């Protein structure tokens, strides 16, 4: 991922950083990662509604992280949620944030990743719905999608989405101005590729190959406004920056902050894209 958020994310579990990058500081990640656009929740709620209407419904969440989507799901009365979060620090954050739901049994947190979780015969066709919010790129899609198909009951609903922090086809002024800074980061590809989340043909083919039907892709374009602290806080969560030694990371953020003050008078407007894929298992 580039600092402007428009390059490819990792696509296999082998590329997950040892120990987990995002669990190093869950509070900072929760504070600085933007929420999802309102239009996304409308589409997701409408898509999941048939699966959740029969109640009590059981939903699976892959990689809840700090719980943005988790909170939205738990607002549905009667829904029981199983969330797979292998990072211990993020799991602790979730246990604290949703303590009442964990105590009541509405939220069950499991430490295993999707590849090794829910392997018993009784888990097959167990869930009415499943979601993955900016998480499924950490799992090999050749493994993840067939596993989700297996875990969903016939007629079950799937919603998978990603926030992409930049629009490579229509880069905003901040993306253009900051590109030289991000290009100099260690590990930054010389010519960042299109984020796989935005490759509708590829994502659709993967869902079809896993046995899903009624596939409905949506690319939601939206603007995000922030100040120096917010933009630098978001940038600090990007994998290429999170991997840097603390002193090098701070030096980069100081340069980025100076650019925001000097060129943008302390305020930036970003152009983001949320890629949403809705699908179902055959009834």
* Mean pLDDT of the residues in the chain: 88
pLDDT at residue 59 in the model:
96
Contact present, 26 and 89 (Cβ < 8 Å): yes
Q: For 57-126, list the strands marked E by DSSP.
A: 58-62, 80-84, 107-110
pLDDT at residue 151 in the model:
95
pLDDT at residue 58 in the model:
95
DSSP assignment of 227-241 equals EHHHHHHHHHTSHHH
Domains of the chain and any CATH numbers: 13-167+194-224+273-280 (3.40.50.150)
Contact present, 86 and 19 (Cβ < 8 Å): no
Retrieve residue 263's tokens. 């060129």
pLDDT tens sequence across 69-83: 999 999 998 899 999
pLDDT in tens, the chain (283 residues): 333 443 333 333 333 343 455 556 788 888 889 999 999 999 999 999 998 887 789 999 999 999 999 999 999 988 999 999 999 999 999 999 999 999 999 999 999 889 888 777 667 788 999 999 999 988 888 889 999 999 999 999 999 999 999 888 888 999 999 999 999 988 777 666 678 899 999 999 999 999 999 999 999 999 999 999 999 999 998 888 888 999 999 999 999 999 999 999 999 999 999 999 999 999 9
DSSP 9: P
Q: What are the φ/ψ torsions at residue 280 (nearest 5 degrees)?
A: -140, 160
pLDDT tens sequence across 73-117: 999 988 999 999 999 999 999 999 999 999 999 999 999 889 888
pLDDT at residue 20 in the model:
58
Report the relative pairing of strands 127-133 and 58-62 from DSSP bridges.
Answer: parallel
Sequence-distant (6+) residues with CB within 8 A of 216 are 47, 277, 278, 279
* Rounded CA separation 41/47 (Å): 10
| pTM of the predicted protein model | 0.89
Sequence-distant (6+) residues with CB within 8 A of 178 are 3, 4, 256, 259
Only one residue has tokens 């069950």, namely 108
By C-alpha distance, which of 239, 231, 240, 233 is closest to 266? 231
Sequence-distant (6+) residues with CB within 8 A of 238 are 1, 2, 3, 5, 165
């Amino acid at each position: 991922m580039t600092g402007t958020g428009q390059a490819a994310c990792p696509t296999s579990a082998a590329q997950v950083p040892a120990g987990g990058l995002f669990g190093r500081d869950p509070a900072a990640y929760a504070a600085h990662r933007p929420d999802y656009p309102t239009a996304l929740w409308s589409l997701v709620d409408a898509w999941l509604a048939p699966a959740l209407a029969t109640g009590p419904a059981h939903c699976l969440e892959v990689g809840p992280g700090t719980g943005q989507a988790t909170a939205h799901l738990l607002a549905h009365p009667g829904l029981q949620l199983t969330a797979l979060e292998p990072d211990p620090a993020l799991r602790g954050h979730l246990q604290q944030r949703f303590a009442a739901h964990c105590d009541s049994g509405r939220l069950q947190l499991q430490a295993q990743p999707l590849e090794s979780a829910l392997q018993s015969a009784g888990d097959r066709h167990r869930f009415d719905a499943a979601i993955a919010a900016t998480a499924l790129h950490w799992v090999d899609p050749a493994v993840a999608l067939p596993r989700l198909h297996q875990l969903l009951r016939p007629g079950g609903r799937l919603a998978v989405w990603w926030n992409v922090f930049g629009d490579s086809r229509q880069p905003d002024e901040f993306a253009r101005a900051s590109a030289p800074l991000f290009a100099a980061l260690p590990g930054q590809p010389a010519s960042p590729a299109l984020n796989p989340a935005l490759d509708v043909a590829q994502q659709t083919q993967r869902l079809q190959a896993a046995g899903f039907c009624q596939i409905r892709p949506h690319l939601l374009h939206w603007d995000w406004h922030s100040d120096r602290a917010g933009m630098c806080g978001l940038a600090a969560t990007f994998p290429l920056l999170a991997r840097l030694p603390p002193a090098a990371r701070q030096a980069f953020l100081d340069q980025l902050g100076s650019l925001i003050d000097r060129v943008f008078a302390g305020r930036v407007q970003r152009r983001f894209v949320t890629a949403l894929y809705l699908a179902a298992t055959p009834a």
